[in-house]
């Protein structure tokens, strides 16, 4: 799910601005930058477990495939999941210098495809699915946490939250916990995330009762509330 600095003490975020919107409105130039940010972040997060080549394979090999899969994710026919309403947050240092991003969707699961789409209209059964968050190595601590909060801001407070991580990505585990998510030990499995002949990766699932509960956890201190509120007040849109 994520590839960010595992520390959650906020550093100076003054130089960092945030933009939000549907991912299909971002330019090809922006997706080239996003792909490189993701490759750098995940390569560092998975160092010692996966090569940069394997990471780029996981991300789609090139920015065009990376872009297409974020805008229109395929239905997961193995785990019987559907996705809609993609929403993205990007973090920038000065205009056009992208240093991080996150993407989330409305998500439902059921072996019956028609029921999956029917559930999209039922708030308690429509998950806020945080697909991924990545921040370029070396950026200020706290950027990822702001991205997570701004992503959740797009969803109904009553929606349950779900995210998935790879067990070997320890930073992602710490990040999911920092968003107030709890690991669901009953929903794990092995996947071929890296393609080719790479070893299987263990996928873990994380949940929160609701968007509201996760936001309360993220913003538990007044200092964090003020930082996130300031960034939310100065949001720009794609």
Q: In Å, what is the CA distance from 27 to each residue of 31, 66, 71, 238? A: 7, 13, 12, 9
Burial classification of residue 131, based on how many CB atoms lie within 10 Å of its CB (0-12 exposed, 13-18 middle, 19 or more buried):
buried
The single residue listed with the structure tokens 């070893």 is 199
Rounded to two decimals, the pTM is 0.92
- Provide the 10 A C-beta neighbour count for residue 227: 18
Tokens of 172: 């992602």
Q: Which residues of the chain are under the pLDDT cut of 70?
A: 1-9
**pLDDT for res 61:** 94
What would the pLDDT profile of 184-235 be if each residue is shown by its tens digit?
999 999 988 897 778 899 999 999 999 999 999 999 888 889 999 999 999 9
Assign a CATH topology to domain 2-8+14-237: Aminopeptidase (3.40.630)
Give residue 9's pLDDT: 63
Cα–Cα nearest to 176, from 195, 136, 137, 203: 203
| pLDDT at position 6 | 42
3-state secondary structure of 117: helix
**pLDDT recorded at residue 224:** 87
* Measured distance CA(1)–CA(224) in Å, rounded: 22
Find out whether 70 and 103 touch, Cβ atoms under 8 Å: yes
Whole-number pLDDT of residue 125: 93
Cα-flanking dihedrals φ and ψ of residue 18, to 5°?
-130, 140
State the pLDDT at residue 221: 81
Delimit the domains of the chain by residue range: 2-8+14-237
Q: How far is CA 46 from CA 4, 91, 194, in A?
A: 11, 22, 12
What is the phi/psi pair of residue 19, to 5°?
-125, 150
Alpha carbons 210 and 216: distance in angstroms, whole number: 10
pLDDT for residue 12: 85
Cβ neighbours for 210, distance < 8 A, ≥ 6 positions apart: 157, 158, 159, 160, 161
Confidence (pLDDT) at 5 = 42
Q: Look-up: residue for tokens 């999956």?
A: 116
The residue ranges of DSSP E strands in 16-151, in sequence order, are 16-21, 81-93, 98-109, 127-135
Q: How are the residues of the chain apportioned to helix, strand and coil, as percentages rounded to the nearest 5?
A: 35, 30, 35
Question: Cα(9)–Cα(218) distance, rounded to whole angstroms?
Answer: 12
> How much is the pLDDT for 229?
94
């Amino acid at each position: 799910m994520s590839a960010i600095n595992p520390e959650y003490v906020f550093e100076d975020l003054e130089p960092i601005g945030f933009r939000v919107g549907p991912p299909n409105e971002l330019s090809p130039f922006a997706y080239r930058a996003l792909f490189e940010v993701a490759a750098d972040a995940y390569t560092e997060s998975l160092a010692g477990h996966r090569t940069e080549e394997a990471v780029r394979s996981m991300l789609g090999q090139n920015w065009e495939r990376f872009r297409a899969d974020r805008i229109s994710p395929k239905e997961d026919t193995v785990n019987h999941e559907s996705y809609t309403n993609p929403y993205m947050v990007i973090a920038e240092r000065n205009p056009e210098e992208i240093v991080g991003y996150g993407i989330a969707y409305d998500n439902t699961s059921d072996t019956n495809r028609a029921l999956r789409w029917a559930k999209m209209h039922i708030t308690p059964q429509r998950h806020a699915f945080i697909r991924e968050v990545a921040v370029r190595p070396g950026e200020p601590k706290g950027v990822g946490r702001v991205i997570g909060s701004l992503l959740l801001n797009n969803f109904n407070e009553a929606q349950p939250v779900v995210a998935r991580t790879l067990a070997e990505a320890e930073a992602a585990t710490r990040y999911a916990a920092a968003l107030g998510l709890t690991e669901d030990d009953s929903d794990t499995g092995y996947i071929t995330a890296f393609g080719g002949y790479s070893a299987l990766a263990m996928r873990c699932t994380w949940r929160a009762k609701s968007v509201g509960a996760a936001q309360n956890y993220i913003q538990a201190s007044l200092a964090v509330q003020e930082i996130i509120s300031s960034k939310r007040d100065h949001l720009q849109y794609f």
